[in-house]
A = this chain, B = another copy of it.
């Protein structure tokens, strides 16, 4: 089974599912929680991401964008979207922690988990209410009620699991001070809801405070994470693995299960990729009236405008498909980078989890980029803003991935898979892969400042060029490193030209890495 640092529901579940004990468990109605967790991950990632839809949709519909600047609108709306995305990820993180403690499930827990998911699915709805009525208390109130409901169900799960200890993860089941952990977990689970209760209260007479409190709900865990990380930096990242295994499932400030981080990220990438295509014909099916000129055509329009020629009608919406191809390639390649990144990482520590969340939040913004860049046909006048927004989204989505990798290097051997501990070729590949999008998006942004009139062309050129650059880059790095095979490490790392900030980081990454055991 892979690295000792995660409880790994996957292996715990599937691995055991052929052993006698697991069979008896199944016979007693106790089940491995693996599949329920991946289902929850899929659900939560989708919920977190579809929140971009009200942003993109309210973006298109009204005429206000002709008097206001698109950039300002986007800034505020993206901020709200990010906030709720982070809220869902906080709920997800709490859920992850919860089921790192609750090792197995029975039917009651499965049903409780469904109830939890159901209350979480109301977050986007109450969110859109809040966006629609920022100053009406009811919107905030409902949102807070949702969060509290989630917290309540999760608390129920904790209580139930501690009521029948055989459902707990073995370490906790065996441990002497179980009650302590219970308080620990209940505290973490109920922290957010408590603040939201206060927020709900304030919403009744002074709503700005509620927004402040909700912001606290989001950032509190991350603040504590960062604090914990700084502490870890001072103590030094390397404890003996046995000990770190000890802490892992107990101390709730320890890394999240890598499998669940991957599952959640996959869900986000998958739904984003789907939202892109969904946008193409969602515009048609539901908003045919305003924009039928440049979306998938209405049969009436085809007769009216294109003399019944569907080809002409589709040709009219060519830019959409170009934008779609570009955006899908972007999503796919960002997933690809994320995938190869986590191939080299053994555990997701708190700062990495935070960076991953931020990266995903911007990935969730990509449909917005698509919808922006595909809207040129009808709004050429804010083309420049759109391209810049898209570049910014792509840049942040990718730079946070890059940050994950550098953080992993900084945190030393425990977080890396053995083969990449010594740098060299794999490091070069990773830096090349991860640095590609930040550089190209920055480049595109810079170009739009210089040649503002060609911004669209530049942007699409970038989107189309990058995939080929990926292949080319691999060949380049491979060739160069074939020569450098003998002397690994720093020179191998400094190889890709666009990783300026890195060598410093990897200098102090190498020194602790070299002695690390394989």
Contact = CB atoms under 8 A, between A and B. Distances in A.
A332 B335 CA distance: 29
Interface stretch (A79-87, A284-292, A402-410): A284-292
Tell me what chain A mostly uses at the interface: helix, strand, loop, or mixed: helix
Contact of A282 (B53, B132, B280): B53
Nearest to A266: B39
Interface in A9-67: 10-11, 14-18, 20, 23-24, 26-27, 29, 31, 35-36, 38-39, 42-43, 46-47, 50, 53-54, 57-58, 61
A35 B429 contact: no
Given A53-B282, A278-B50, A332-B118, A270 B43 contact: yes
Contacts of A54: 281, 285
A454 interface: no
A136 B117 CA distance: 43
A417 interface: yes
A6 B284 CA distance: 43
B273 A117 contact: yes
Interface stretch (A203-211, A336-344, A378-386, A435-443): A336-344
A286 B332 contact: no
A285 B53 contact: yes
A220 interface: no
Nearest to A344: B26
Per assembly, the copies of the chain total 2
Given A270-B42, A273-B117, A61 B285 contact: yes
Contact of A335 (B1, B39, B263): B39
Contacts of A262: 35
A310 B128 contact: no
A143 B29 CA distance: 46
A20 B277 contact: no
A512 interface: no
A99 to B, nearest CB: 15
Interface in A217-260: 259
Given A10-B14, A43-B274, A277-B122, A38 B299 contact: no
Contact of A340 (B46, B107, B269, B518): B107
A286 B280 contact: no
A426 interface: yes
A296 interface: yes
A61 B139 CA distance: 28
A118 B41 CA distance: 23
A187 interface: no
A474 interface: yes
Given A31-B343, A54-B281, A426-B26, A273 B419 contact: no
A419 to B, nearest CB: 4
Q: Which are the 6 A-B pairs with shortest beta-carbon distances? A: A42-B270, A27-B419, A114-B332, A57-B285, A286-B286, A2-B17
12 contacts: A2-B16, A27-B420, A43-B270, A43-B274, A46-B271, A46-B274, A53-B285, A57-B286, A61-B286, A110-B336, A117-B332, A138-B311
